Amino acid sequence: MSCSPWPRQTEPVQSFRYKAANPDGQIVEGLLKAADRDSAARQLLAQGRTPLHIGDDAGERTNSPPARRDRPTRSAGRAAIDHFTLELSTLLRAGLPLGQALDTLIELADSEEMTDLASRVNREVRAGNSLSEALEKTHPAFAGFYCNMVRAGESSGALDLALARLAEFRGNQHALRQTLMSALLYPAILLVLALVAVAVLLAFVVPQFTQMFADAGRELPLLTRIVAATGELVTRWWWLGLLLFAGASWWLRRDWRTQAGRLRWDARLLRLPLAGDLVRKLATARFSRTLATLLENGVNLVPGLEIARQVAGNSIIAQRLGTATRRVREGAALATALSESEALPTLAQQLVRLGEKTGNLGPMLGQVADIYERDVQTALKRLLTLAEPVIIVTIALMITVIILSVVLMILESNDLAF
């Protein structure tokens, strides 16, 4: 009889303490055994319960709630608001009343930031305000679009659905931002490293050779003199360059914050050959996604247009959308108003017109957002595909000029030796 030299490996079983919502909305607590948290969550879902919190048994045995760990208190950021929206939507869809859902959210919060945000909203709701009013008083990020979505959900009796759509919308926006940032990261790193390499060559390598050549009493070649002067400028006046850069950044930031300055820079940005098209498509995607979400949640068209145009991201396009909004308020069709104002690309106008004719404006705007979000990613990849070789070739030419200046100097020194 043969037997395996290794004992059979069995998956370790752990104890987990959980809080879950029954189908009737009642919160229950208990202890179950599972291989991991995912298995524990699947067990609860199989029992018809909605998992709210699953923690290690050992970690839960303490006199103070686990959510109250010592963390620095700070103003709620985007991540905390996204988490708050998703968690509150989940609790409301599990059948909990709003007050109980907020209490549970405070208890389950895993950061001081989240606890503070949920507590302030809860206090306003307990004081008799609606959730939309409480959010508006709690944090500036809840103003405008967010509160109008919640208000529409309250008036239609579908607050949980409104929050779920909000969570999905914010998730899509976050994913688009992450895509843009990831695409820009590699060229930025490449450019910085290349500039550092050139600066090191100019500041430390070239001066060593020029000093040796100067000691021999010979005049440097013209190219070497130019490179050496550039290196001296870098080593002696780098602080002046930093001051000029800081001053220019301060002036641009200050000018950008004024309405006239923002209009000037946004107009210039739209006129750029490749970047202008990218900005236009990104503004179209953001406007369409926001308006689609508002309309599907019950917000009327004109208030929805007023909110959606504010998130376009480009003041020139937002101004044109404002003109279109006024035309809609006067009785014009949305597609006609967009065409007259030239706020959106032709394809977007045609799809909006089709959505109005078929009575599916909200879903059609969602399709427009999908199209232009894909176009933004494609255009950005194309732009960066062109930018990377340009950066590489430019830096290679600079390094070639520096090396050539050193080679010319070495050749001159060899002639001097003979």
Question: Looking at the domain assignment, is residue 71 inside a domain?
Answer: no
- 167 & 186 share domain: no
d(CA 284, CA 314): 10
Whether 69 maps to a domain, the answer reads: no
| DSSP result, 215-265 | HTTPPPPHHHHHHHHHHHHHHHHHHHHHHHHHHHHHHHHHHHHSHHHHHHH
Q: Give a yes or no: residue 294 inside a domain.
A: yes
398 and 271: one domain? Answer: yes
Side chain identity, residue 375: D
Domain match, 137 and 192 both = no
Of 269, 297, 302, 295, give the one whose Cα is nearest residue 283: 269
Q: Give the span between the Cα atoms of 369 and 341, in whole angstroms.
A: 19
Same domain? For 116 and 35 the reply is: no
Based on the fold, state whether residues 246 and 391 are members of the same structural domain.
Answer: yes
Say if residue 179 is in the same domain as residue 100. Answer: no
CATH, residue 329: 1.20.81.30
Asked, for residue 148, whether it belongs to a domain, the answer is yes
Q: What is the mean pLDDT of the chain?
A: 77
Total number of domains constituting the chain: 3
> Residue 17: how many CB atoms within 10 A of its CB?
19
Distance between CA atoms of 293 and 169, rounded to whole angstroms?
7
> What is the C-alpha separation between 18 and 20, in angstroms, rounded?
6
Verify that 187 and 167 share a domain, yes or no: no
Query: Using CA of residue 9, residue 15, residue 20, residue 24, what is the dihedral sign?
Result: positive
Q: Which of 62, 87, 102 is the last residue of a domain?
A: 62
pLDDT tens, position by position, 231-289 = 777 778 778 878 988 888 898 888 888 888 888 888 888 888 878 888 898 889 888 88
Alpha helices, DSSP H, located in 47-143? 57-60, 78-93, 98-108, 112-126, 131-138
Check: CB of residue 126 under 8 Å from CB of residue 136. Answer: no
Asked if residue 242 and residue 149 are part of one domain, the reply reads no
**Residue 4 counted as domain residue:** no
Q: Are residues 283 and 149 in the same domain?
A: no
pLDDT tens readout for residues 94-135: 888 888 888 888 887 777 877 888 888 888 888 888 888 888
Widest Cα–Cα separation across the chain: 99
Residue 378 resides in a domain: yes
Same-domain status, 234 and 377: yes
Domain check: are 337 and 210 in the same one? yes
What's residue 282's pLDDT?
A: 87
| Domain annotation covers residue 8 | no
Domain membership of residue 337 as a residue range: 174-418
pLDDT for the residue numbered 84: 83
The 10s digit of each residue's pLDDT in 330-377 is: 888 999 999 898 888 999 999 999 998 988 888 899 899 889 988 888
Over residues 400-414, the pLDDT tens digits come to 888 887 777 777 666
Number of Cβ within 10 Å of residue 314's Cβ equals 23
Q: Which of 171, 203, 226 represents a domain boundary (last residue)?
A: 171
The domain boundary, picked from 171, 203, 231, lies at 171
Please state whether 245 falls in left (phi above 0), alpha (psi between -120 and 50) or beta.
alpha
Residue 62 has pLDDT above 50, yes or no: no
Give the burial string for 229-252 (b: 16+ CB within 10 Å, else e). ebbeebeeeeeeeeeeeeeeeeee
User: Is 348 a member of any domain?
Assistant: yes
**Same-domain check for residues 96 and 238:** no
pTM here is: 0.60
